[in-house]
Amino acid sequence: MVWSSEPKTIEVKCQRRRSWPTRGAPFLPPALDEPLELGFEELYLAIGRMIALASARESVVRTFQRNARETIKVLIDRDAPDLRAMIDIGDLADQGLVQFAHDMAVGVAAIAMQNAGFTWVDHAKEVLPRSRRRPDYVWSTGRDDGSVILSEVKGMASSKTPFGTLRAKVEEAWEKQVRPWALDRTSAGDPIVGGYAIGVHIPAGREAGVAALRSVPARVRARYSGGGPEPVAEGPGTVGPSISVARGHYRAALTLIGARGPAARLLQLPYFDSEVRRFDIVDAGELNFVVPRFRSQRELMLAMELDAFRFALKLAMDDPGPLADRPFGGQQGLGSEGPSRVLSAPRFEPGIRNNLLLGETRIAALAPDGLAILRGGVKPRVIGQLDVSGIGAVSL
């Protein structure tokens, strides 16, 4: 059984700042929401995205995604108003406990980042050079300078380990995996302007908690540390991601909804598959969504907003659409001096949309890039079809 319609809360029990050296215009990341709110579908969607960022194989992504969904249903207390694990997690073997902690942590942290205004993300192994220890993820700031911030995520699920142990792990992660990248660039030349280290503690039978560190530009920190007013975080922009982050971000989204050909093309890989990939366009009230045709009758459907899907296809076909007002000419992947091109991508207000009902289909969760979970599907209102079987395919 899944949770009730009410979202669960999770307290941010510790949130601290760390100084970050800067060149040029400083970027002040916003604090995480206190408390965080998340629904079952929203958490499931966030975990699925982060799994897809780590693997290019659809079969692997689907297996881990199913496991994560069942784990949430079985091990999270569905009746508690806050996010808490069942006492049963104490019976898990070490491997199962580590996997549970990882899935919950990356999902909660992803929702926290989205709530802070960040939209586009890629796994750090795809974007950062291997010169030193890397964090988990690279997020676009959405500004026209193509800049990015980093995030490292730590999870801990245990019946005995205290919250203070997790807080120490977050401090260590900041020092070893986030802070060393200050004043550096991604492999594509995008400037790294800040970062977060986020830990999620899920004790057995008790409320979960979050510990977080975030960067503050050194000169900004010096001003309010000397007695001045605390500055207001500017937050991410809405211009769009650099192309280096966008490719990995939309590859993961396309993999999740089953568009393997376009996803492979974004990785510049050959794609051999005789299966025709047809998608239904489903009317869900305010927005239209693309759903794999063979899944449009399911109760729970992973979907993508139509304009976002079309943008991802254009990106896969090396036609990214309109650029931001300030394009850059950096050579992607070659460590150029300047950032890669900044794309103008569609963006949506994230959240749980329980109030949109039409034809037995409703939006249960919506991410800011247009990836969504629809519930219903008994009689979805299909208003069109798309066939992407030729995109990225290699004929034999």
Which residue range is the domain that position 108 belongs to?
8-225
Same domain assignment for residues 265 and 152: no
**Tens of pLDDT, residues 335-365:** 344 556 889 999 998 765 545 444 567 888 9
Same domain assignment for residues 167 and 266: no
Residue 284 binned pLDDT confidence (cut-offs 50, 70, 90) = confident
- For residue 392, tell me if it sits in a domain: no
Same domain assignment for residues 221 and 248: no
Residue 71 binned pLDDT confidence (cut-offs 50, 70, 90) = confident
- For residue 53, tell me if it sits in a domain: yes
Same domain assignment for residues 300 and 188: no
- For residue 221, tell me if it sits in a domain: yes
What's the pLDDT score for residue 16? 95
More confident residue, 117 or 354: 117
What's the pLDDT score for residue 201? 96
CB 373 within 8 A of CB 353: no
What's the pLDDT score for residue 325? 34
How many separate domains does the chain show? 2
| Type of residue at 224 | Y
Arithmetic mean of pLDDT over the chain: 82
Average pLDDT rounded to a whole number, residues 58-83: 86
**Given a cut of 90, is residue 13 above it in pLDDT?**
yes
Tell me the C-alpha distance between 30 and 33, whole Å: 9
What's the pLDDT score for residue 35? 93
**Tens of pLDDT, residues 185-233:** 999 999 999 999 999 999 999 999 999 999 999 877 666 555 556 666 6
Is the link from the previous residue into 236 a cis peptide, with omega within 30 of 0?
A: no
Q: Where a domain ends, among 225, 255, 273?
A: 225
User: The pTM is what?
Assistant: 0.88
Same domain assignment for residues 123 and 88: yes
- For residue 319, tell me if it sits in a domain: yes
CB 174 within 8 A of CB 18: yes
**Nearest in space to 386 (alpha carbons), one of 269, 247, 284, 259:** 259
What's the pLDDT score for residue 390? 63
Tell me the C-alpha distance between 136 and 125, whole Å: 8
- For residue 49, tell me if it sits in a domain: yes
Q: Where a domain ends, among 196, 225, 254?
A: 225
What's the pLDDT score for residue 337? 46
What's the pLDDT score for residue 220? 73
Q: Where a domain ends, among 225, 255, 281?
A: 225
- For residue 394, tell me if it sits in a domain: no
What's the pLDDT score for residue 31? 93
Same domain assignment for residues 258 and 218: no
Same domain assignment for residues 207 and 332: no
Same domain assignment for residues 155 and 72: yes
What's the pLDDT score for residue 326? 31
Residue 269 binned pLDDT confidence (cut-offs 50, 70, 90) = low
Question: Which position has the token pair 């000419």?
Answer: 329
Same domain assignment for residues 351 and 270: yes
Percent of the chain with pLDDT over 90: 47
Same domain assignment for residues 77 and 181: yes
Three-class SS of the chain:
CCCCCCCEEEEEEEEEEEEECCCCCCCCCCCCCCCEEECHHHHHHHHHHHHHHHCCCHHHHHHHHHHHHHHHHHHECCCCCECEECHHHHHCCHHHHHHHHHHHHHHHHHHHHHHCCCCCEEEHHHHCCCCCCCCCEEEECCCCCCCEEEEEEEEEEECCCCHHHHHHHHHHHHHHHHHHHCCCECCCCCEEEEEEEEEEEEEECCECEEEEEEEEEHHHHHHHHCCCCCCCCCCCCCCCCEHHHHHHHHHHHHHHCCCHHHHHHHCCCCECCCCCCEEEEEECCCCEEEEEHHHCCCCEEEEEEHHHHHHHHHHHCCCCCCECCCCCCCCCCCCCCCCCCEECCCCCCCECCCCCEECCEEEEEECCCCEEEEEECCCCEEEEEEECCCCCECCC
- For residue 311, tell me if it sits in a domain: yes
Q: Structure tokens of 269?
A: 């890989």
Same domain assignment for residues 39 and 153: yes
Please tell me the least confidently modeled range out of 33-47, 166-180, 251-265: 251-265
What's the pLDDT score for residue 322? 45
What's the pLDDT score for residue 328? 31
- For residue 308, tell me if it sits in a domain: yes
Same domain assignment for residues 52 and 86: yes
What's the pLDDT score for residue 64? 82
More confident residue, 58 or 138: 138
